[in-house]
Amino acid sequence: MLKACLNGARRCDEHLAVPVTPAELAADAARCAGLGAGAVHVHPRDAAGRESLHPSVIAAALDAIRAACPEVPVGVSTGAWIEPEPAARVTAVRAWTVLPDFASVNAHEPGAEAVAAALRERGVLVEAGLWTVDAVETYARWRVPAGRILVECMAEDPAVALADAAAMLSALPPSAAEGPPVLLHAEGPATWSVLAEAVHRGLHSRVGLEDTLLLPDGSIAPDNAALVVAALAAGAR
């Protein structure tokens, strides 16, 4: 599966094609899905443009995307930068009136397992975000099963990111081979090298303006759709 990560924390002054409003997210999601993206990951924003877990903000984004492409699974982030207080993140999840198909939870963040448990209680697939080998070990102690594992390489240097990917994948529990599917990706300059590694290993991956503004040849991507086309041409599915 290739997931389209449409906006993340990316600002419009970084790239004019970053979708922010529900309508923009919906239009972008439909374009990417039509090109072959198998899922969409978004960071909904409030009226001031801030990332938010508020029920009305989540609902507006999800409703718009599902109206535009109802067959495509859509997920959101629960990152601590959106809501630093762990208990508030749990409260927000429990108050959601419209549920995403999946939501990412970064294992290294305080209260991550409680957030994962709240999502699972509501029937939302949990994506365990693993940024380091230590995070892999933290995730291995969770009592909440994840539905998908995100191996997320944060180093900008492609060689370092690939080494980090190998280390984290090797550190996954032995049961991982028969457990949740793994999605491998990177950000910035390492995006395309790590996506190629995901293809080589037969793993899921993702691409979008959240992760990179550049196409594989180093030119500026005009939009998320162009990044999806490039990823599919590179062999991602």
Relative to beta strand 182-186, strand 205-207 is unpaired
* pLDDT tens digits, 36-53: 999 999 999 999 999 999
Domains contained in the chain, number: 1
Comparing CA positions, the residue from 190, 237, 228, 193 lying closest to residue 209 is 228
> What is residue 219's predicted lDDT score, i.e. its pLDDT?
98
**Domain at 78, CATH number:** 3.20.20.70
Q: How confident is the model at residue 173 (pLDDT cuts 50, 70, 90)?
A: confident
Q: Kindly calculate the radius of gyration of the chain based on its CA atoms and give it in whole angstroms.
A: 16
Q: How confident is the model at residue 177 (pLDDT cuts 50, 70, 90)?
A: low
Comparing CA positions, the residue from 38, 28, 98 lying closest to residue 68 is 28
Phi, psi dihedral angles at 171 (to 5 degrees): -85, -10
Tell me what the pLDDT averaged over the chain comes to: 96
> What is residue 237's predicted lDDT score, i.e. its pLDDT?
74
Cβ proximity of 142 and 116 under 8 Å: yes
20 has pLDDT over 80: yes
> What is residue 175's predicted lDDT score, i.e. its pLDDT?
63
63 has pLDDT over 60: yes
Pairwise CA distance, residues 152 & 190, whole Å: 11
Cβ proximity of 26 and 65 under 8 Å: yes
Phi, psi dihedral angles at 79 (to 5 degrees): -55, 145
Cβ proximity of 53 and 92 under 8 Å: yes
Range of the domain at 174: 2-233
> What is residue 179's predicted lDDT score, i.e. its pLDDT?
82
* pLDDT tens digits, 108-118: 999 999 999 99
> What is residue 5's predicted lDDT score, i.e. its pLDDT?
98
Phi, psi dihedral angles at 39 (to 5 degrees): -160, 165
> What is residue 87's predicted lDDT score, i.e. its pLDDT?
97
pTM metric for this prediction: 0.96
Cβ proximity of 39 and 235 under 8 Å: no
> What is residue 153's predicted lDDT score, i.e. its pLDDT?
98
* pLDDT tens digits, 193-217: 999 999 999 999 999 999 999 999 9
* pLDDT tens digits, 24-40: 999 999 999 999 999 99
> What is residue 176's predicted lDDT score, i.e. its pLDDT?
55
* pLDDT tens digits, 104-162: 999 999 999 999 999 999 999 999 999 999 999 999 999 999 999 999 999 999 999 99
Amino acid (1-letter code) at residue 49: G
Mean pLDDT of 157-176: 92
| The CA-based dihedral angle spanning residues 200, 203, 207, 211, taken in that order and rounded to the nearest 10 degrees | -90
Which percentage of the chain shows pLDDT scores above 90?
A: 96
